[in-house]
Structures are given as structure tokens and as C-alpha cells.
Structure 1
Amino acid sequence: MMCGAIAVSAQTLPYQNPELTARERAVDLCARLTLEEKAALMLDDSPAIPRLGIKRWQWWSEALHGVANMGGVTNFPEPIGMAASWNDALVYRVFDAVSTEARAKWNELTARGGDVTRFHALSVWTPNVNIFRDPRWGRGQETYGEDPYLTGVMGSAVVRGLQGPEESKYRKLWACAKHYAVHSGPEWSRHTADINNISARDLWETYLPAFKTVVEDARVREVMCAYQRYD
């Protein structure tokens, strides 16, 4: 019986097979998860699921202008200031340095057996590619300004710096483009704004292009949804 259990655990299930497409693997995994397990994996601190060989994973860290909430790292200018440089090559170098420091902090923590908690993750919720067109939004400094094209260019440089060369076997970090989409203030209504009021032209010409760019050109690994209403 023990030999049989070892043989089963050693099998490669379809969701563990890198030769399959991402969709095929996701469909297979979701079919194996219980409802409770699916709900648990929606949290930023996703618990391990030993029966499926899934390890615990912490999704939440921040790196908008340097590794957040960590001592001994470089604090770069806010993104709105970086955008004013119009220098995407320099922005790439900034976030290449940020990802190196984030990896170093993670290596330091795990080497001494520390717990990878919030803000120590290899998944960073950066860049913010929302379009800053309302000064009443209190997070405008996180963005690359009011221009969709510049935001896409700068956002892609950030993603490439954080994730590392696409041809590498492993990513340095996982970048996350946020907040999809039309999450641009004012602050008091960002949880309740109804984006049905946005015209199709403004949606496609203003608010979505930067997301399209970072997904298609920079291959960002994660996208965070926005918080507003869409009925």
C-alpha cells in the first residue's frame, strides 16, 4: 500500500505538465479543487494544498519606486516623476535594480528560515498603469501620468525590469499591472463609480491601451482588477 501511494504521488498530473497550455492546466487544476480550496487560493496569502502538491504562496508585495516596507533598499523617485524623464531605458534600469534588491531580501529571509509574509513576496503589485486625469485621486503619484501611450511605454519598461529577460528560464519577480481598469479617481468614488458611464471611445483610447501594451509587449504575469462597479 505504501508503494502504491508513493507511485501515485510521483505521477505528473495534467496541471503539473508544462507541455500543456496554461488554459488546459488551469481547467484540470480547477476540476480537482474543492470549493473551500478555491476560496482559500483567492487570498493574498494562499495556503498550501498538500494533496495536490501546491505550496503556500504569498502574492502581496509592493515595488512602485523601490522595494516597499523593507529596510536597507534603494528609494527611487515616485513613478509620476520617472514619467517626466521620458526615459524608458532608465526606468528599466531602475526596476532591474529593484528586482535584484527584492530577490536579495527574499534570499536573506528564506536562508535564515524566516516566514515569507506580506511585503516579502516575489509577486509585486507594480506597475500602476492607470491614467491620471483627476487631481482628486490621491494615488496619482503612483502612475505615469495622463498619457496612455507614455504610460504603456513606461509600464512595459517597469515590467521588463522587474521580471527579467523573457528568454530566461525563471523570472526575477512577477509583476502585476493594476488596476484594470478606469481606476482613476476621484478617491471618494473609486469603490462605487459605475464605468457604464464611460464611453466606448474613451475606454478603448484612454483607459485600456496601457494594459494592452504591458500584456502583449512586456508579458506582465499578473493583472489586478479595479474596485468599481460594472453592472
Structure 2
Amino acid sequence: MLLFTATLAAQSSYPFRDTSLSFENRVEDLVSRLTLEEKVAQMLNATPAIPHLGIPAYDWWNEVLHGVARTPYRVTVYPQAIAMAATFDTNALHLMAHFAALEGRAVYNRAVKEGKEGQRYLGLTYWTPNINIFRDPRWGRGQETYGEDPYLTAMLGKAFVHGLQGNHPKYLKAAACAKHFAVHSGPEPSRHVFNAVASGHDLWNTYLPAFRELVTNSGVAGVMCAYNAYKGQPCCGSDELMVEILRKSWRFEGYVTSDCWAIDDFFKNHKTHPDAATASADAVLHGTDVDCGTDAYKSLADAVKRGLITESQINVSISRLFMIRFRLGMFDPAAAVPYAEMPASILEHPDHKAHALKMARQSIVLLKNDNHTLPLQRSIRKIAVVGPNADNAISVLGNYNGIPSSVVTPLQGIRNK
């Protein structure tokens, strides 16, 4: 007991625990106390705890495409992203993201209290929004985007980021992440080997405007680099995309995560690198801070020994990662962080559910109304509801979704009326 008490006292006396210091100074102190092996472990999406410093485990992977996703708790589910884009209502999307962030905070707080800290889909770093351009309707993930228009995508993405992250001068409500950077709009089956070739005009007028808006004007906390290659280099190791544009031209100081197992693609599918160590070192040198996957970045300690990268260069990535966690208030007293005590009662709050219904109604686009069939006359006694998804709750929820307490299918909605 005496040793345990002494350990806690020592942890609380570290400068990185001193809330009077700047985040920059606190990050510098924390990073200086880590071994190389500890640093490498913190660059995977599922990071282990660091007991001697009192740092809890954390998983960077979470989703909030249209409401908090994949959580074990019941949450408000909003229309799929492509449907919300059909509203053309940036204010409504901003409010949706704000409500989702509040529920995300409640989920995180509840998970911590229940000892689930470090589990996937319970953190505060959300890999949303998907601001890729939906150019071809055959792309199986187009429903996650805001459509085919670069300007609309940029404005909706900006509204989402501002709503999710909030405007507190010190703390993030939640951390958004713009994905997938860049030139990534299908085809889905070949994304792990595909080399995208785009003209300069197409790159800057189609694929990059939304990313530029979120990075330079919206303060997005993170960016996810894509699976595909661009001009022969995997996106997560692209000289042009990651270094010249993102870090130098746009001066992005947030964190970058790979798409999941994208670093493995360097040496397994793109065949641009001979092994995990060379791929991992190159990705980090290009500014990819998190390896979403299982193994690749574990080779970074070996990469240092082989002279492929230095520990100082790894420190750059580690500092960016801990900066995000500090900005989320993870190392500060709950009383100091405005969202740290968000109660579970906010989940599926009536205001949130009402807004989800409002956005669903606004998202409907009437393309044709032959013979003035709509609105339906109340004198009609029978209606045929046809199709396999008319009473399919799963189809209503979309993908990257949470689970609400109840779902109203089209058939149920008609019956309710």
C-alpha cells in the first residue's frame, strides 16, 4: 500500500500532469519519459497502458459517420451521410455532429467508469467525415460521402468538424478525422493495389478542395491517408500528398492515421517496399503517425537499429499523438474539462431523436409525382408496400452505424400513420 501511494504521488508530480503548463510543454515532458519501445507501442491504433506513468490504454479507432457507431450502448442514429448531404443544410449537419459528440463523450465517460478504457469504438478520436468525392454510383462506399460535388462536400465537412470538435478555447469536444487522403473514390476491390493517376486540374479541383477546407480553415484534428497509391507511391508514403501538400503547403500539425492495414499494403500489395521495417519507417517519415493495423509499426524499433529512421523522428509523431489526447482532456481533472462528466442520460436524448427525424424528412428528394399521387389521400384504404427492405431494420441503419433502442421501417411508419 505504501509503495502504491508513493507511485501515485510520483505520477502526479510529473510536469506533464501540471495543468498550469502549456500542452506543448506537457507533451515534451511526457515524451521524454518514454522508452523507444513504449513510443512504438503508442503508434498503433490500440495502444497499451504505461503503468509507471499512469497513462491508460487507448484505442484511436472510433467512428461517428451518422451518430456514434459500433458502441455497445444505445445511441441516436441519424440518416446516412449521403442522405444528410441531400438536405443541403450545413446548420442541421453542424447540430447533428454536436449532438453526436455529446453522446460520444457520454459513451467514453461510461466506458471509463466501467473499466472498458482502451477498447475499440469507445474513444474520442473519430475517423469521420468521409469527404471523398462520389464520382461513380457503382462505388460501394459512396453512401458514406456527401456526394459528387467538391464544394458541397467541403462546406458540409466543415460544418461537421466544427459541430463535432466544438469551439472551446482549450479542449476538443471530440476529434474529427478527414478521410481518405487522397484521390480515393473506388474501385473498392482493387483499392489495396490501385495506382491513381489524376491530372493536376482534377487533383486540385475535384479531390483536394474538401481536404484543403478542413485542414486550412476548419481545424480538423486528424487526417486518414488512403490505401491506394498515387503516382506510384502509397498514399501514406506519398511525397506530394503527405509532405509537399499536407504538411508543408497546408501546414497541417494534427495527426495522421493510416487506413487500417494500409502500411502492410506497402510491402504486401503495392510491392514498393521490401518489408515492414522499411515501409513503417517511410510512412512515419512522410508524417503517418498511427498504424491502424496489427503488426507493421511494431517493426519501428528494429528500423531505428537499422538506421532507417531515428528516435528523434519518431518523437515528432508521438508528440502529435499525445497533443491530441491532451486537447481531449484525457490527462486533466474531470472538473477542468467541460465534457468530462457528460452523463449517460444524454444518449438518445429526445432533442437528438427529433433532429434525426427532421434530417430524415429533409433528406427525401421527390424526383417524380405522376398524377399527383403524393401526398396520399386519407381516403385510400389499402397500400401495397413492396420490396425486401420495406420491413428490414438493418437496411434503415446504413453502415458505420450505431444501434438505437428502436427502429421504424418504412412498413412500420406507414402502419403508424
TM-score interval, normalised by the smaller of the two chains: 0.7 to 0.9
Amino acid of the structure 1 residue aligned with 2:78: F
- In structure 1, the residue matched to 2:41 is 40
Larger RCO (CA within 8 A; separation ≥ 6): 2
Match of 1:92 among 89, 94, 104: 94
Deviations 1:119-145 (A, max 9, x none): 111111110011110222211000001
- In structure 2, the residue matched to 1:219 is 219
Q: Verify the 8 A CA contact 1:109 1:116 in the aligned structure 2.
A: no
Superposed, which structure 2 residues align to 1:120-159 within 5 Å? 120-159=122-161
Q: Verify the 8 A CA contact 1:60 1:123 in the aligned structure 2.
A: yes
Q: 1:9 to 1:90 in 2, by over 3 A?
A: closer
Match of 2:22 among 13, 18, 25: 18
Amino acid of the structure 2 residue aligned with 1:182: V
Q: 1:89 to 1:21 in 2, by over 3 A?
A: farther
Q: Which has the larger radius of gyration?
A: 2
Q: 1:89 to 1:139 in 2, by over 3 A?
A: same
- In structure 2, the residue matched to 1:208 is 208
Cα deviation, residue 113, structure 1: 2.9
- In structure 2, the residue matched to 1:171 is 172
Percent same amino acid among aligned pairs?
Answer: 48
Look up the SS of the partner of 1:178 in the other structure: strand
Deviations 1:172-223 (A, max 9, x none): 111111111111101122121213x211211111111101111122201111
**Unaligned 5+ residue runs, structure 2?**
234-417
- How far apart are the structure 1 equivalents of 2:28 and 2:216? 21
- How far apart are the structure 2 equivalents of 1:68 and 1:206? 29
- How far apart are the structure 1 equivalents of 2:209 and 2:152? 10
Q: CA RMSD in A?
A: 2.8
Tell me the number of residue pairs that the alignment of Structure 1 and Structure 2 aligns.
Answer: 221
- In structure 1, the residue matched to 2:79 is 77
Cα deviation, residue 30, structure 1: 8.2
Structure 1 stretches of at least 4 aligned residues deviating more than 4 Å after TM superposition: 6-9, 19-22, 30-33, 50-54
- In structure 2, the residue matched to 1:65 is 66
**Unaligned 5+ residue runs, structure 1?**
none
Q: Verify the 8 A CA contact 2:46 2:118 in the aligned structure 1.
A: no
- How far apart are the structure 2 equivalents of 1:164 and 1:94? 12
Deviations 1:111-168 (A, max 9, x none): 2333441111111111001111022221100000111111111011111111111x33
TM-score normalised over the length of structure 2 = 0.48
- How far apart are the structure 2 equivalents of 1:116 and 1:55? 7
- How far apart are the structure 2 equivalents of 1:30 and 1:225? 28
